[in-house]
A and B are shown apart, each in its own frame.
Chain A
Amino acid sequence: MRWLCFGAMVATLLTPDVFQAPAPAPEIAFDASADFLKLPSDVYLGEVAGVATNSRGQLFVYTRTGNPTVALGNSRLFSHGGSRLFEFDRTGAFVREIGQGLYAFLVAHAVRVDAQDNIWIVDEGSNQVVKFSADGRVLMILGRKPEAVTIRVPSPSSSPAPPSRGSSGAAGAGGAGDQFLRPSDVAFDSDGNIFVADGHGANARIAKFDRTGRFLLSWGSRGTDSGQFNLPHSIATDAQGNVYVADQGNKRIQVFDGKGAFKSQITNIGVPQAVCVSGGAHQYLYSSHSGDVYGMDDAAIYKLELDGRVVGKFGSAGKQIKQLGLVNAIDCRTENTLYVGELTNWRVQKLTLQARQPR
């Protein structure tokens, strides 16, 4: 009887996959360069969590590198290190490091550039969002880093957890306020309002702040209904101020207006890990699908119209050039020139998509 129950559960878990298999989409031809970025001999990228360009084509890379460290010598354990922010010019030449030793740099998750070329990082370890000016000085802080590291004692009865992609902690109500739990991404509207995807932890919400950093509202809670999230992993806005949320665990992108009202959802794009809305008059939505936790079996990037119609897709999983290893960020300032940051391949690839021939 117990086995029957278990079987039924498995069937239930598997069924949605069967029916939500990505729809056939035209393949988009593309080229890739994995050595576009030129690093000094003593600087190395680790897992690339974030990549973004500014209006001059400068690139910013937020990477998990160095050693995340817990310091001994006190009654509490303090964490630091583990991530760095680098700037490159439009040719890929190394310009500088930003935020050396910064208090918030612990586990990189995203970097984005706003309309004024300010640089924003999202750190899921320190639970912070940090705004830098274009010249690399700190302008604003959202959220607060936990003072010390907690120690969790696993229960003897529980079996070791399988690899998870977040969704840690209990189901959260997505409480309103300034504090984040493993935030994942940040986006902006034309008024300078700030949207934070929050995130990997027990919160499952989008938090909105005004341009001065004052909390305005938040929406969402853990669940599968419209307006609910199961790991809001990436976020982007279009020119009209609509908000596109990669609801990774629910295998969909949800679209909201700027006040959090649900508008629509996009499915049939696999497991969305990173989204980006391109610049220009005709905006496109890119969404990176990662179907396995190792980045070795199932991956692609979808190009969509903003209304969700699939234009095409490209890429496959793996470690070679032109393959994708857990893409955590896409920069798509220019429609057919993408920069993708990969977690498992420790690199940024420059992807050049073949433009469609006008009919």
Chain B
Amino acid sequence: MKTIFFLAVVLVAQVHSLFAQTKAKAQNVPEIAYQSVPGFLKLPANLYLGEGIGVATNSKGHVFVYTRSGDTRLFEFDQNGNFVREIGQGLYGFEFAHAVRVDRDDNIWAVDEGSNMVIKFTTDGRVAMVLGRRPEAVEGLVAPLAGAPEPQPEPYVFSRPTDVGFDAAGNIFVTDGYGNSRVVKFDKNGRFVKQAGTKGNQPGQLNLPHTMAMDASGNVYVGDRSNARVQVFDNDLNFKSIYDNVGNPWAVCISPGPHQYLFVSNSIPDNGLAQYRDITGEIYKMELDGTIIGRFGKPGKQLGEFSTVHEIDCRNPNELLVAEITAWRVQKILLRSTSSTRQER
């Protein structure tokens, strides 16, 4: 009896953690005016995006899109949205896209939750380093076991990793992920340094670390999605603070420059349940200390509306690129600048 009850709790808890979406606690937030640029990305006739999972720009403004298409693929576009090339055709690490990021040297990093790998490409699209290891698929298929305990995290093995970030020293941070509940720090040569987080809802614990970003001081902002909060850790992965008023963070981004902003998407979940339509779908623009500047967006499939936002590029805080799962697209979003407003204060 006790066992049955326990199983039921586990099932409910899992369903809850994976699908629940919450209305942001923050209310009466100023709306930021914005518009979407129609037809920004231009694809060759024989190429198609699938789910828009990852989007990132490099210092020249080139756009990298990591998509779950027939196969998971990585495409490069120029600053005008013209197709440049494909990167990593048939790559061993491409199985189920989750994020793409560009570091300060314009290396391109792909995070794949299907192969459990993080792959670093040089600017010319060659593999420079790989983290994690795809399991050798030689023992036959293993049916997943319901309610199986979370495996003990290993330093160099990920369990459905979700995102990657970098500090000024080149240290690499990986959120890991759907299976493990941790953020891992590696040095620039890929050597394990430290990890933080276990599954739970206490400060410093994580329940689906789904996205992350780093500020210029090397602090780590983790979108702790199923706990409906952004958690901030310092560069040594010590817990610092919690921002829990902007819903369930599916995607976070921190803009560069002397005044950095934090963007957080309270995305409409991909389960299609109508009940979430009125309480999600907006993106928040915040100060790094958690102060909300404003919000924009609403759920939907029209131009300028957001289906499930999965990654944001904010190299220019007034020109965002937004990848959406359910509408299979990347939108370029022009935001009205808020910097003048702040100067008036």
Contact = CB atoms under 8 A, between A and B. Distances in A.
A42 B130 contact: no
Contacts of B191: 296, 318-319
B15 interface: no
A318 B90 contact: no
Given A46-B92, A46-B93, A150 B140 contact: yes
Nearest to A67: B95
Interface string B308-335: 0000000000000000000000000000
B92 A168 contact: no
Interface residues on A, range: 35 or more
Contact of B154 (A66, A68, A163): A163
Nearest to B131: A319
Contacts of A67: 71, 90, 92, 94-95
Nearest to B141: A151
Contacts of A294: 133, 154-157
Given A151-B140, A152-B141, A66 B189 contact: no
Interface string B331-345: 000000000000000
A160 B149 contact: yes
Contact of B145 (A45, A107, A156, A320): A156
A186 to B, nearest CB: 17
Contacts, number: 103
B151 A160 contact: yes
Given A46-B93, A82-B137, A153 B88 contact: no
Contacts of B149: 159-160
B190 interface: yes
A296 B156 contact: yes
A152 B142 contact: yes
Interface string A152-191: 1110100110010000100000000000001000000000
Interface string B166-191: 00000000000000000000000111
A42 B141 contact: no
Given A152-B140, A154-B142, A66 B92 contact: yes
Given A67-B71, A153-B143, A163-B157, A319 B129 contact: yes
B29 interface: no
B145 A318 contact: no
Nearest to A63: B92
B138 interface: yes
Contacts of A43: 89
Interface SS of chain B: helix, strand, loop or mixed? loop
B90 A44 contact: yes
A344 interface: yes
B130 A150 contact: no
B192 A107 contact: no
Nearest to A83: B92
Contact of A149 (B140, B151, B154): B140
B86 interface: yes
B136 interface: yes
A301 B226 CA distance: 47
Contacts of B157: 163, 294
Nearest to B114: A67
Contact of B86 (A42, A152, A153): A42
A54 interface: no
A17 B335 CA distance: 62
A298 to B, nearest CB: 13
Interface in B98-148: 125-127, 129-130, 133-134, 136-143, 145, 148
B91 interface: yes
Nearest to A200: B138
B92 A151 contact: no
Interface string A51-86: 000000000000111111010000001010010000
A143 to B, nearest CB: 14
B38 to A, nearest CB: 31
A75 to B, nearest CB: 14
B143 A47 contact: no
Nearest to A326: B133
Given A294-B156, A344-B130, A68 B137 contact: yes
Contacts of A320: 189
A114 to B, nearest CB: 25
Contact of B141 (A70, A182, A200): A70
A44 B91 contact: yes
A40 to B, nearest CB: 10
Contact of B92 (A47, A153, A154): A47
Contacts of A124: 138
Contacts of B190: 296, 318-319
A68 B148 CA distance: 26
Given A294-B155, A296-B156, A160 B148 contact: yes
Interface string B266-308: 0000000000000000000000000000000000000000000
Interface in A286-320: 294, 296, 318-320
Nearest to B88: A44
A163 B137 CA distance: 13
Contacts of B141: 70, 77, 149-152
Given A154-B142, A160-B151, A344-B130, A107 B137 contact: yes
Given A43-B89, A154-B148, A294-B154, 6 more contacts: A39-B126, A44-B89, A107-B136, A152-B139, A153-B143, A200-B138
8 contacts: A44-B126, A64-B136, A65-B91, A67-B90, A149-B141, A296-B156, A320-B189, A345-B130
| 7 A-B pairs with the lowest CB-CB distances in the bound complex, closest first | A46-B92, A294-B156, A150-B140, A319-B190, A160-B151, A65-B92, A66-B90
Interface of B: 71, 85-86, 88-95, 125-127, 129-130, 133-134, 136-143, 145, 148-149, 151-152, 154-157, 189-192
